[in-house]
Amino acid sequence: MSLESIKYDKGNLTILDQLLLPAKSFYVDIKSVQDAWSAINTMQVRGAPAIAIVGCLSIAVELYEKEDVTLTTKSNLQIELDHKLQYLVTSRPTAVNLAKEVSILEGLIRQLVEDESVTVVDMKTRIIEAVEKLLTKDVSDNMAIGHVGANSLLTTVLDDVKVTVLTHCNTGSLATAGYGTALGVIRRLHELDRIDQVYCTETRPYMQGSRLTAYELVYEGIPSTLICDDMVAALFKKTCVHAVFVGADRVARNGDTANKIGTYQIAVLAKYHGVLFYVCAPLSSVDFSIESGDEITIEERSECEMTTVAGQRIAAKGIKCWNPAFDVTPASLITGIVTEKGCVSPNELHKLGPS
């Protein structure tokens, strides 16, 4: 059984509290849109696809709570839901997945309101159905990404060679509905018995690498080694690393990619050392409405994440801190963008989306 960050059944939603991992495996109930907003904002749940799914499922949770007889009119329901959806989007600004799903849901809601043959009860059912589909779609997209990414790398090495790869942050089952994106590619390579070693970075300051990715790698029995974020150059110099696989929070039309802080410096080092650098993400992480990474809002988080570890202050009192949660890797440093529809070079990404 693989790790499950999101458990959902007919209006009952719980999430694995990722603030407590790896020490404790504890599920938290999400009973409302407000609960989902707080869980996303405090990073009890994180990772672009998981954020979108939990946000949208919280709408289904609230709809299940509404008795059919107490539903008012379709336009009242529309006003209420639009308000809640817009609120959800304010939870974290950088990842595009939640904003995209929200805009799709708003479109569906508009269409249901306009269609006179749809009753308010039908409207509730149709919205719940649309949201519930996100879970299975995410897992199947991730499995496709895993296959595409593994094949892309394996075409670059001889048949019997086992590969050494590096990943940053957490892009596995914990960050998605299951299987993972960049970690899904690694999972697939392991299924094919082609992994020699996976290096994962600690990913300061929130430690998604040491707390979450290391946990998943050990859980899956994948040969793996943890390094600090500042060891990547030394690793590339000393070891033959075949490729880097990372996820994405928002990919611009030109391929510039916002992902966890530290991704950009790994890409620069990969270019210098001739290491392949792949971004692995569902097409729902691509924001075709923006031309380049310059248009991406980068979330800045509380300095406490840098100055304290497990409640203990580790930084000198009085020091100022800068804590951006993401950075933007320029398309020119990216070998390929691995999506559920294939692996493309950044300058061909626009062919997979709306013109």
Cβ-contact 104, 98 below 8 angstroms: no
Residue 160: CB minimum distance to ligand MRU, A? 30
The closest alpha carbon to 47, from 132, 142, 164, belongs to 142
Alpha-helical (H) ranges within the chain are: 33-41, 48-65, 74-89, 97-114, 120-154, 182-191, 214-220, 232-238, 263-273, 304-307
Minimal distance, residue 190 CB to ligand MRU, in Å: 17
Least distance (Å) from ligand MRU to the CB of residue 326? 6
227/134 Cα distance (integer angstroms) = 34
With respect to ligand MRU, which residue has the nearer C-beta, 208 or 254? 208
Q: How far is the CB of 306 from ligand MRU (least distance, A)?
A: 14
Residues 6+ apart with CB under 8 A from 63: 11, 124, 127, 128
Nearer of residues 196 and 305 to ligand MRU, judged by Cβ: 305
At closest approach, how far in Å is the CB of 241 from ligand MRU? 18
Task: Give CA–CA dist 221/190, Å, rounded.
Answer: 9
Q: Tally the C-alpha atoms within 13 A of residue 148's C-alpha that lie toward its C-beta.
A: 22
Burial environment of residue 297 by CB neighbours within 10 A (0 to 12, 13 to 18, 19 or more): exposed
Q: Report the residue number, 58 or 181, with the smaller CB distance to ligand MRU.
A: 181
Q: Say whether 249 is catalytic.
A: yes
What is the torsion angle, in degrees rounded to the nearest 10, for the CA atoms of residue 249, residue 255, residue 256 and residue 258? 10
> Which residue number places its CB atom closest to ligand MRU?
247
Of the candidates 35, 249, 256, 327, the residue annotated as catalytic is 249
Q: Give me the residues that bind ligand MRU (CB under 6 A), please.
A: 46-49, 95, 169, 171, 175-176, 181, 208, 247-249, 259-260, 325
**Closer to ligand MRU by Cβ: residue 60 or 325:** 325
**Which residues carry out catalysis?**
249
